[in-house]
Amino acid sequence: MKMDINDFIKNFASQFEDTESIDFTAETHFKELNEWSSLTSLVIIAMVDEEYGVKIKGDDFRNSTTIKDLFEILKSRL
């Protein structure tokens, strides 16, 4: 599978209801978004599993700040 960060950002952004897509970039500090919560974290875990077949853990969020950080974790497990 071709891993493109822009696709990942798009998939990431589409899980959010109230945050505009334009607010999502590789450098977005996602945990600082108003909409970030336990539920959105579960949604992202499920999205990554469904779209990329990769298991990420709750702890992976703790170890990342930007969307790019998360993307790097994802890539390392492909």
Contact residues for other proteins (CB under 8 A)?
38-39, 42-43, 45-47, 49-50, 55, 57-59, 61-62
Residue closer to other proteins, measured from CB, 7 or 51: 51
Tell me whether residue 57 or residue 75 sits nearer to other proteins (CB atom): 57
DSSP-assigned letter for residue 63: T
Q: How far apart are the first and last CA of the chain?
A: 9
In angstroms, the CA 73 to CA 78 distance is: 9
Q: Rounded to the nearest whole angstrom, what is the least distance from the CB of residue 46 to other proteins in the complex?
A: 4
Query: Whole-number minimum distance, CB 13 to other proteins, in Å?
Result: 15
Tally of residues, the chain: 78
> Judged by CB, which is closer to other proteins: 41, or 66?
41
Gyration radius from the chain CA atoms: 11
